[in-house]
Chain A
Amino acid sequence: MGKAVVLRVNGEEYELEVKPQETLLDVIRERLSLTGTKRGCETGDCGACTVIMNHKAVSSCLVLAVEADGAEIVTIEGLAKEGKLHPLQEAFVRHGAVQCGFCTPGMILSAKALLDENKNPTEEEIRRAISGNLCRCTGYTKIVEAIKACSGTL
């Protein structure tokens, strides 16, 4: 039995019929083909599926698509504007904060949710904000540096 929902993703409105057992992650990837949002552990442990929902970072694998009805959602595809990368994306490239890239979309969205709320976070606040995003390549230092470089500039 499908349920009609309206999702606002990256400023665009999508009217969809979803099954109750479909997660927001399923819908974003399989139905909207926005595959920048990664499917990792599926149990809220790794942060790869992080999106911003109503201004808060959430694990989209732990949100039912029906629960997101009417919500405002930002995925990694919503950050670049007119072919120009978002300053956080620029900083990640510049600081070498991307290696395999699998954690990057979630990492950047966690960082964005932090900076939207707190323009000048301390290093501890940055580390705490991304503590739910696992990266197995970088050792986090360059990621923290990239986020720090954007403090106070967004």
Chain B
Amino acid sequence: MLRSMQPFNYLRPSTLSEALKLLGDHGREAKVLAGGTDLIVGMKEKGLSPRYVIDIKGIEGLDGIGYDPNEGLRIGTLATMSEVSASSCVREHYLFLAHAAGEVGSVQVRNRATIGGNLCNAAPSAETAPALLCLDAVLTVAGPKGERAVAIEEFFRGPGMTVLDGEILTGMLIPPVERKGIYIKHSPRNAMDIAVIGAAAAVTPKEGGWENVRIALGAVAPTPVRVHEAEELIRKKGQTKEAIEEAGRMAGETASPIFDVRASAEYRSEMVENLVIRALSELCDS
């Protein structure tokens, strides 16, 4: 075997409270398993060796996608990327989120990878994060003391780090606000590639202008981020060509990209500017 995993104990609780108890008992020695497309790779090649793997796929009620006009779009943590990208509710209301989910890995990966896992893995390049940031997603988190809601902007703490503390992400709710959005993934290959930059923008079209302007970026900072200054600028100045160009420049300056094997920091900053301009311009035209 080329890349084998260290032995571990596999636990498959059938209720959330049982899962939280196991997580509480084993603490840092445990990892939560959803689709496994990040965790198993991590265990094979990145030296991750949890003593306990807690598979949450046996718990009922953590999957599924549904839209309610009063409540909004609810996505269970175990909804796979394939399900999110094919879901009629997602496509009807927030097509760009479906597109973002459809950009992850390959068919094989999307059939296993879950939206909850994508967020909890907390890669700066997490494919669904910029779109969910643009949609003001509210994450539902279950812990030993009960359930709490976490705004997605508060969720990420650093590469691979989230606010979860002995807790499990159970799903998310996107408020029922009408929006049009766009997600642009910039990567050398069309498939099976990690975003060098991911840029999303969304707005609520209103007579005479845009409301709820949101601009979010992936892979250009330690976490996926919103670019508030650029959003504010568009809100104030409207969607003019000049304002859009200035918003792009701001986004490029806000980004604190890394220099790595995929691209240099300078290249990333410049591409952020271009992608934000492109995203906002396309929203003007659509």
Q: Are A21 and B8 in contact (CB under 8 A)?
A: yes
| Chain A residue contacts of B109, Cβ below 8 A | 44, 59, 62, 132
| Chain A: CB-nearest residue to B8 | A20
Q: Is the interface of B mostly helix, strand, loop or mixed?
A: loop
| Chain B: CB-nearest residue to A40 | B2
CB distance from B128 to the nearest CB of A (A): 18
CA distance A105 to B255 in the complex (A): 43
Q: Mark B1-29, 1 if CB is under 8 A from A, else 0.
A: 11111111110100000000000000000
- Tell yes or no: B285 within 8 A of A by CB: no
Q: Taking A64-B36, A132-B109 as contacts, is the C-beta distance between A21 and B6 under 8 angstroms?
A: yes
Those of A106-136 within 8 Å (CB) of chain B: 110, 113-114, 128-129, 131-133
Q: Are B191 and A110 in contact (CB under 8 A)?
A: no
For this complex, into which size category does the number of interface residues on chain A fall? 20 to 34
| Chain A residue contacts of B37, Cβ below 8 A | 44, 59, 62
Q: Are A44 and B190 in contact (CB under 8 A)?
A: no
Q: Are B191 and A43 in contact (CB under 8 A)?
A: no
Those of A83-105 within 8 Å (CB) of chain B: none
Those of A7-60 within 8 Å (CB) of chain B: 19-21, 23, 26, 39, 42-45, 47, 50, 56-59
- Tell yes or no: B159 within 8 A of A by CB: no
Q: Are A131 and B106 in contact (CB under 8 A)?
A: yes
Q: Are A132 and B5 in contact (CB under 8 A)?
A: no
Interchain pairs with CB closer than 8 A, number: 90
- Tell yes or no: B112 within 8 A of A by CB: yes
Q: Are A64 and B106 in contact (CB under 8 A)?
A: no
- Tell yes or no: A67 within 8 A of B by CB: yes
| Chain B residue contacts of A44, Cβ below 8 A | 37, 40-41, 105-106, 108-109
Q: Are B192 and A113 in contact (CB under 8 A)?
A: no
- Tell yes or no: B278 within 8 A of A by CB: no
For this complex, into which size category does the number of interface residues on chain B fall? 20 to 34
CA distance A58 to B80 in the complex (A): 12
| Chain A residue contacts of B36, Cβ below 8 A | 62-64, 67
Q: Taking A39-B2, A128-B191 as contacts, is the C-beta distance between A47 and B7 under 8 angstroms?
A: no
CA distance A132 to B109 in the complex (A): 8
CA distance A129 to B5 in the complex (A): 29
Q: Is the interface of A mostly helix, strand, loop or mixed?
A: mixed
Q: Mark B40-56, 1 if CB is under 8 A from A, else 0.
A: 11001100000001010
CA distance A58 to B227 in the complex (A): 36
Q: Are A131 and B2 in contact (CB under 8 A)?
A: no
CA distance A1 to B8 in the complex (A): 9
CA distance A113 to B5 in the complex (A): 29
- Tell yes or no: B163 within 8 A of A by CB: no
CA distance A62 to B53 in the complex (A): 14
| Chain A residue contacts of B2, Cβ below 8 A | 39, 42
| Chain B residue contacts of A129, Cβ below 8 A | 107
Q: Are B5 and A21 in contact (CB under 8 A)?
A: yes
Starting from the known contacts A42-B44, A67-B36, 19 additional A-B residue pairs (CB-CB under 8 Å) come to: A3-B10, A20-B8, A20-B9, A21-B6, A26-B1, A43-B3, A43-B45, A44-B37, A44-B106, A62-B36, A63-B36, A63-B40, A63-B112, A66-B12, A110-B108, A128-B107, A131-B107, A132-B108, A132-B192
Interface, chain A (partner B; CB < 8 A): 1, 3, 19-21, 23, 26, 39, 42-45, 47, 50, 56-59, 61-64, 66-67, 110, 113-114, 128-129, 131-133
Interface, chain B (partner A; CB < 8 A): 1-10, 12, 33, 36-37, 40-41, 44-45, 53, 55, 57, 82, 105-109, 111-112, 190-192
A-B pairs with beta carbons under 8 Å apart, 16 shown: A20-B53, A56-B82, A57-B107, A57-B108, A63-B112, A64-B10, A64-B36, A66-B12, A67-B36, A114-B107, A128-B107, A131-B106, A131-B190, A131-B191, A132-B106, A132-B108
- Which 7 A/B pairs are nearest by Cβ-Cβ distance? A132-B106, A131-B191, A20-B10, A21-B5, A56-B111, A42-B3, A59-B108
